[in-house]
Structure formats: C-alpha cells, structure tokens
Structure 1
Amino acid sequence: MNKHKLSFRNIPGWAVALAIFGILYLTGLHTETIGQVQRLLLATGLKKADVPEGTTPNKIAETDLSPSNQMAGTGFQLTTLDGKVVSFESLKGKVVFLNIWATWCPPCVAEMPNIQSLYEKVGSDKIAFVMLSVDQAGLPKVQKHIQRKGYTFPVFLPASPLPQEFDSPSIPATFILSPEGKIVSKQIGMAEYDTQEMRDFLVNLAK
C-alpha cells in the first residue's frame, strides 16, 4: 500500500496565498504589505495628483469648490497628537493641505512618505499641512504609527464632527484650501503629491 507524503507541491496556489494573507492579517501586517505594493505604483509616476489649471491666485480663484462664502470647515475642531484642541479656522490666511487618512488604509499608508517629502520641500509659515486621522481606535494608535514611521508633518484627529465639505466616499481624500479658506482642489484616492507641479501650485497659491 502506497503512502502519500505531504508535499508543498501538492498544496494549491490559492491555498498558499490565502494562508499568507491570513498570517499577514492576524499579525496586522497586511496594511503595510499592501501599502508597500501601492507605493511602488506611485513610484512609477502614473498616479500624480491633479493640479488645477493656472497657478496664479487669480486663476485659481476661478476653480473655487467651496459651497458658500464662508471658510470651508468653519466650526471644525481638531486634536493634536499631544491632546491640544485647535480650531480649523485658525488656519485661515494660509494655504491648507488637508489629507484624510487612517492607519488601516493601505493607500493612505502608501502615499504618506510622498506627502512627507512634499511637506519638507514646501513647508513654510504660509502653508499648513493637516494630516487628519479618522482612526476610531483613537490617539495612542495614531501616535505609535507616526512615531514608528518618523513623520514630522502635523497630525490631527477630529474633535468635532467632520464638516460636510470634507465628506468623502472613501479615503485617502485630500483637499487644498486657499488662504481665503476656499477649497480649490479635491483628490479622492491615492496620489503622488511631491511633484514640481504640486509644489509650484502650493507656493504660488500662498503668495
């Protein structure tokens, strides 16, 4: 009577893939793994963020996406990573790069190094970065993620309901506001932001 020896060659490929994904999921590494793959996609330059036509303040004003004459996000409150509550309206007068993300979101994780690079290149007192985490797990998890990655851009959590103008069917979602507080650019989904076009757009908008 022949005895069949267990061999990995006899295990279907789908079963191996399922087992690997299961291990990654149970260890919490699936987000990082998927994010790394998506980061490679960004590196190809095929997912550049949309930049509104015209990079002068007058031309940009024509693309205003805000729903009213008041500043987008009026009344919205944010919590910093050290627990301080700040008003979104305090950023009026600056160009605001608002990115909505979460630690469990692979495309969010994938685009963050690129946003960090953009932040380092255009960071000034006239351009404010708001990396808004919507993690329901709370502040400690977000703090741990940011510290582990070594990011230096400003990170916040909502301290009040998210304004309707920043509502999005999915994340990541990025909004750029003019110094007048008007939404002039909206990007849903992962994108490459550290491009010459985006850097010029932000710097010229801040003039």
Structure 2
Amino acid sequence: MKFIRKNIFNALFIIILLVIVLVPDAKAFLIKGLMEIGFYSPKVENPKEIVTSLNGIQFKDINGNVIDLGDLKGKVIFLNFWATWCPPCRAEMPSINKLYTQFKDDKHIVFIFADADGDFAKSGKFMADHKYAMPVCKVESEIPEKVFAGALPTTVIFDKQGRLSFRHEGVANYADKKIVDFLNKLKNTK
C-alpha cells in the first residue's frame, strides 16, 4: 500500500512539473505568484548610460504610425519588449498594465510595448483576451544592443534627455512602488 501511494505522489509531482514546464500559462501563473510574494522586484539604481542617439530607433503601431524615439526627447520613455509565447512576459503583463493604466494620461511619459514577433493579429488578440489596455507596436528599425540584446522580456526606461536610466532583462513586478516613484522622479527632473 505504501509503495502504491508513493508512486501516485511521484506521478502527480511529475505531471505538475511537466505542466509548469510545457504550458506557458501555467508557468506564467507560477511566476506571477512569485512576483506577488516579493520575488522579481526590479532594481532602479542603474547608472544612466548614453545611447549614441535615439534618432532612427523606430516602432510602428497597429494603425501604421511610426514612432521614432528621437522625436520623444523631453519625455520619459518606458519601452517593453515581449512576446505572446513568452511565459515571463505573460507573467509580468498584469503589473505592466497596472503601471500603464496609472500613467497613460500623463503627457510626460510614453509607453511602447514592442511585440518581438511583430504579429499585430496575435498580439492584439492577446491584449483583448486579457483585457489589457496597452497599445502594441512592432520594431521597425535596428535596435542598439545596449537597448535590446534579444532576451525576453526586456524593459528599458529613458529619461527626458534620452539617457538609458533603467534596463532589466527578465520578469519583474512593474506595479512596484519603486518603479512608480522612479518614473515620477524622472518626469519631474529637468
């Protein structure tokens, strides 16, 4: 009897482990839970780096409008690279949506959510299905490696002068008070 019970528990453990590894929503759910208990808190103490120029770094929104980061000087830019198939991206989306909702009407902060796949149909459906209000863009130019080296998710924040003030690869809780305070500090700095 003990042998059978032990095998049942082992089989259940392996099934749960496989579900977490193979099902993106299950992995995202686990990561989101870890975010809520304090893991994945982003550090905002990164030094400011100069990116040669933001001019020419372009994104296209769902309506075909081209956004050039060089044209956004004088605004704080929150830029997130993500993909619908990426479990860590999916896990951090609720916190990013909360942050976006808090600042979306602030004329001093611009949010760009760059779908790494550039598939507006897929990413738009994802946003609608999850009731996220964030506008989706796709990359339209070369992106300097200092900004995006290919890891998903990657989030960068530029200050009003176009300096790279924050860069984080991997999942993070962007609804964290440290990020809200950081964005407020950047937008109020000349």
TM-score interval, smaller chain: 0.7 to 0.9
Q: 1:93 aligns with which of 74, 90, 95?
A: 74
Matched, 1:52 2:45: yes
Distance 2:13 2:93 in 1: 32
Distance 1:133 1:48 in 2: 23
Distance 1:38 1:135 in 2: 22
Q: 1:158 aligns with which of 128, 134, 139?
A: 139
Aligned pairs (5 A) from 1:66-105: 66-68=50-52, 70=53, 73-105=54-86
Q: 1:112 aligns with which of 77, 89, 93?
A: 93
Q: Could you tell me how far 1:202 is from its partner in structure 2?
A: 0.4
Tell me which residue corresponds to 1:168.
149
Matched, 1:31 2:9: no
Q: How many residues end up aligned between the 2 structures? A: 181
CA deviation vs aligned residue, 1:47-101 (integer Å, no higher than 9, x gap): 2111127xxxxxxxxx212243x3xx32022111223222222222111111111
Q: 2:116 aligns with which of 134, 137, 141?
A: 134
Q: 2:11 aligns with which of 13, 30, 39?
A: 13
Are the counterparts in 2 of residues 122 and 203 from structure 1 also a CA contact under 8 Å?
A: no
Tell me which residue corresponds to 2:168.
187
Distance 1:125 1:190 in 2: 27
Q: 1:198 aligns with which of 165, 179, 188?
A: 179
Percent identity over paired residues? 29
Give 1:166's aligned amino acid.
Answer: V
- Runs (4+) of structure 1 moved beyond 3 Å? none
After superposition, the Cα gap between the structure-2 partners of 1:189 and 1:15, relative to the gap in structure 1 and judged at 3 Å, is closer
Tell me which residue corresponds to 2:4.
none
Matched, 1:40 2:33: yes
Are the counterparts in 1 of residues 147 and 167 from structure 2 also a CA contact under 8 Å?
A: no
Give 2:34's aligned amino acid.
Answer: L
Are the counterparts in 1 of residues 51 and 162 from structure 2 also a CA contact under 8 Å?
A: no
- For the pair shown, which has the larger CA radius of gyration, 1 or 2? 1
Tell me which residue corresponds to 1:64.
48
Distance 1:161 1:169 in 2: 12
Are the counterparts in 2 of residues 122 and 199 from structure 1 also a CA contact under 8 Å?
A: no
After superposition, the Cα gap between the structure-2 partners of 1:46 and 1:14, relative to the gap in structure 1 and judged at 3 Å, is closer
State which drifts further: 30-39 or 98-107. 30-39
Distance 1:14 1:195 in 2: 35
Distance 1:108 1:90 in 2: 27
Distance 1:158 1:128 in 2: 16
Distance 1:67 1:94 in 2: 16
Q: Which runs of 5+ in 2 are unaligned?
A: 1-6
